[in-house]
Amino acid sequence: MKKFKLLIFSILMVLTVLMSCTNEEVVIDNQQNTEESESIVTTLNRLNNQFDENGNVDEAENPAGNIVFDFCFNFVYPIDLSFNTGTTVTVNSLDELIDIYSASTENLFIDGIAFPFQVETYNENSNALEIETINSEDEFLSLLEDCGFEDVVEDCICTQEYDPVCIDITDLDGELFTISYPNACYAICDGFTEDDFNEECQQGYESGANECFEFVYPISITLDEEDALTVNSREELFNAIYGAYHIGLVFPLDIITNDDNTVLAITINSYDELEAIIENCFDDDYVVVDCSIGDITNTLADYCWSIDFTDDNEFIYNLNSDGTYQLQDIGGNLGGSVLTSGAWSIVAGNNTYYITLSAELADYNDEWVVTDCNTDLGYAYLEMQSIVYPQAYIYYIDCNDDGNDDNNYDCSSEEGTSNILTECPWIIDFIDSNEFIYFFYIDGTFQVISENNVLTTGEWEIGMTNNGYLIELDAESPNFDDTWAINDCDEEMGLALVSINYPQAEIYSINCD
């Protein structure tokens, strides 16, 4: 049964699972005792962010596909609300609540609720759902404070890699159910840790992100062991499960799958048959970090690493080959003050690598995960993400950067890279083939010349990745499209560039003094 439960959640993740859908008649009743409540206004405004303009759950805002974990709590229905006109309405479901809010205007809106009422919440200490009774506006406000609704929201920046993680939760009846996230980053953003992950989920569904089948609607599903419910579209399916914990499919059902560019209609008679389709679907698409631990360790120790919180602080890590490191402010090795020291280690897991940073000052502890690694350039080109601070960017810098903007030839700044790039022409030499000369101009255009003939023109742009800067070349002739990576930088020697598209080629500048 556990296997079937994980399969269901994998299916729902494949289909970008979301929201609850039961239409019941709204009851208007002027006799209920309600109170004006700023908290219900705040709740409805925040809850509205979970839904799109059509009243469907917004996939980007709901990675778990469950209201308790994506929003914070779920009302225990029915609840009694009141409009600013004094009219009271009994709301029987989340669907009705969203319909009422969507129909609100500047002149007619919800501004009150009847106390007491109950909510379903998640207790992280017991790893279980529980019912909480809200008896007053003060208790309602305390609930919202616990949810962090008044805090400044820092968006988690997670990759689109599909490497699902599952977490077992105890429901109100003491039974286990499973929630799943597209990858570990989304789960960490919701407050879970690696210790919470169900290894069976990762081992059974290590897969890619591309959907390869679609249900033929209508289909029937069961929610929380109730009678079967018929859903007639993807939207209805996603909406039906947002407030549910135990989800089942009713067989047989039909799917349409794309196999070797051939569209096939298949009848599925059991979970085993559907599981086989899913595993076959993702076998070829799963992304594995294919670098050795030695390659990654060398790259980590060869560079300094900046962690940039975008609109907040920025720190620099200097990882030493002996397993120690120093954490500095943005000044770098020459100009920055050392905030703390610590020890770092790297371990393999889940087809990637995790870097643990244990600081003497615990506030600076962190853990990074390698999201991509490429050795085509002769070294391990890394992309990494902080698990503790997923909203931050991590990229390498020159350890001799003094952190000042007056260094106009420093490749750790966009200005410095642009100045070096446009100062002299650049040759890309394919060794035993052709050789082309690139002229870069400060207005963002470039020319490609060979034997005094202009072969093409185009536009260039510098973009930041987790590892620093890449130079994107968009030529009018697509044959000359390319991406150049900064392999090294020296204030006197300039840039050392490598072509991502043509790693066998050499790139060097012409002395134009």
Instruction: For the chain, give every domain's residue range.
Output: 2-203, 293-397, 414-509
List, for residues 309-322, the tens digit of each pLDDT value. 755 577 888 898 88
- Report d(CA 123, CA 188) in Å as an integer: 16
For the chain, count helices (H), then strands (E). Answer: 12, 32
High-pLDDT (> 70) share of the chain, %: 76
198 has a pLDDT exceeding 70 = yes
- Other CB atoms within a 10 A radius of the CB of residue 382 amount to 27
Cα–Cα nearest to 15, from 187, 210, 167:
210
Is 507 strand, coil or helix?
Answer: strand
Greater pLDDT, 429 or 452: 429
Mean pLDDT, the chain, integer: 78
Across residues 199-209, what is the average pLDDT?
42
Q: Extract the tokens encoding 227.
A: 């009678």
Distance in angstroms (rounded) separating the CA atoms of residues 308 and 264: 47
Specify the higher pLDDT residue, 477 or 431: 477
pLDDT greater than 50 at residue 285: no
CB 468 within 8 A of CB 412: yes
Residue among 166, 70, 67 at smallest CA distance from 120: 67
- Position 275 scores a pLDDT of 75
pLDDT at 343 over 90: yes
Statement: residue 153 has pLDDT above 60: no
In the predicted structure, residue 440 carries a pLDDT above the cut 80: yes
Q: DSSP state, 57?
A: B
DSSP state of 8: H
pLDDT at 86 over 50: yes
Distance between CA atoms of 229 and 177, rounded to whole angstroms? 19
Model pLDDT, residue 287: 47
Phi-psi map region of 460: left, alpha, beta (phi>0 left; psi -120 to 50 alpha): beta
Mean pLDDT of 359-370: 88
pLDDT band at 206 (very low <50, low <70, confident <90, very high): very low
- Over 80: is that where the pLDDT of 412 sits? no
CB 18 within 8 A of CB 238: yes
The confidence score (pLDDT) of residue 161 equals: 61
Fold classification of 414-509 is Lipocalin (2.40.128)
Q: Average pLDDT of 170-184?
A: 84
CB 346 within 8 A of CB 362: no
Residue 247 tokens read as: 């989800």
Mean pLDDT of 74-103: 93
Q: What is the pLDDT of residue 60?
A: 73
Q: What percent of the chain has pLDDT over 90?
A: 21
> What pLDDT does 259 receive?
62
pTM (whole model) above 0.85: no
- Residue 471, judged by CB atoms within 10 A of its CB (0-12, 13-18, 19+), counts as buried
Cβ partners under 8 Å of residue 362, min gap 6? none
- Of 16-30, 222-236, 317-331, which range is least confident? 16-30
End-to-end C-alpha distance for the chain, whole angstroms? 74
Cβ pair 89, 27 in contact under 8 A: yes
Q: What is the pLDDT of residues 319-341, one digit of tens each?
A: 988 899 988 876 444 345 678 88
Which of 107-116, 315-324, 410-419 has the lowest average pLDDT?
410-419
Which one, of 105, 100, 110, 46, lies nearest residue 73 by Cα? 46
Sign of CA dihedral 270, 273, 279, 280: negative
Sheet holding 352-359, edge to edge: 381-386, 366-374, 352-359, 338-349, 324-328, 314-319, 304-308, 393-397
Q: In the predicted model, what is the mean pLDDT of residues 157-172? A: 76
Q: What whole-number distance in Å separates Cα of residue 66 and Cα of residue 9?
A: 11
